[in-house]
Chains A and B, each alone.
Chain A
Amino acid sequence: GAVVSQHPSWVICKSGTSVKIECRSLDFQATTMFWYRQFPKQSLMLMATSNEGSKATYEQGVEKDKFLINHASLTLSTLTVTSAHPEDSSFYICSAKGEGNTIYFGEGSWLTVV
């Protein structure tokens, strides 16, 4: 079946630095990918829609200058958390649409800002 891969699975960064998370569709092309954020024991909140070759569409309340999204190819979207702070620590998950309109999720990436 379709596979969506995220890298890294775990990352720790210092406050004030930037960190990049990659989301790849391994066996299908995805013109649209989605980035979600999940706090511990909570549901997933959509952050933005990543569109190949164009600007991402951000949900209300999400700082686009802080969470930079780039969808450079049909198989890769990246989320860069800029000037990270401890409150940005969270579980970030991406998804992509595969065959039959099925949405596949990546394994998620744990970000800890210290």
Chain B
Amino acid sequence: AQSVTQPDIHITVSEGASLELRCNYSYGATPYLFWYVQSPGQGLQLLLKYFSGDTLVQGIKGFEAEFKRSQSSFNLRKPSVHWSDAAEYFCASSGGYNKLIFGAGTRLAVHP
């Protein structure tokens, strides 16, 4: 069955530090992969997506993610975190039918 795992429930980083949020997927073929961000009490905003092609994907707000088939991973990175990046981050996958399966989410806290 298709599944998405985000091993880190909560991460705290200092402002200006680099960030990497982990995501692993389980699917027979190459899924469509997404990263979304959710601020408290609000909907989801798409940061980036991977369908095929270049395995390093650039997104909005300075985020990027790298698809690694050998590791079944799609980790999200940002070189320098801003205080406004504090939010909940969700990795999601789709088997091509647009039905997204979400990971449990990683809550990011940013220290000044």
**Contacts of A80-110 to chain B: CB distance below 8 A:** 91, 93, 95, 97, 101-108, 110
Cα of A32 to Cα of B41 in the assembled complex, Å: 25
Tell me, yes or no, whether B36 is within 8 Å of chain A by CB: yes
Q: How far is the CB of A20 from chain B (nearest CB, A)?
A: 18
**Is residue A54 contacting chain B, with contact meaning CB distance below 8 A?**
no
A93: contacting residue among B34, B43, B51, CB under 8 A: B43
C-alpha spacing A108/B40, complex, angstroms? 11
Whether B98 pairs with A101 at a CB distance below 8 angstroms is yes
Given contacts A44-B90, A108-B43, contact A101 B51 (CB under 8 A): yes
Q: Does B24 contact A (CB under 8 A)?
A: no
How many Å from the CB of B1 to the closest CB on chain A?
11
Q: Inside 8 A of A108's CB, which chain B residues have their CB? A: 41-43
B94 at the interface (CB under 8 A from A): yes
| Number of chain A residues close to chain B: CB under 8 A | 23
Chain A residues with Cβ below 8 Å from B49 are 102
Closest CB in chain A relative to B18 CB, distance in Å: 25
Contact: B98 with A32, CB < 8 Å? yes
CA of A103 to CA of B105, assembled, Å: 18
List chain A residues, Cβ under 8 A from B41: 91, 108, 110
Measured CA separation A105–B104 after assembly (Å): 17
**Interface 1/0 per residue, B91-103 and A, CB below 8 Å:** 0001000111111
CB-CB under 8 A from A41, the residues of chain B are 107
Can you name the residue of chain B whose Cβ is closest to the Cβ of A105?
A: B44
5 further A-B contacts with Cβ under 8 Å, apart from A93-B44, A108-B42, are A43-B90, A43-B104, A44-B90, A46-B101, A105-B44
A to B CB contacts below 8 Å, 12 in the list: A34-B99, A34-B100, A43-B90, A43-B104, A44-B90, A45-B102, A46-B100, A46-B101, A103-B34, A106-B43, A107-B43, A108-B42
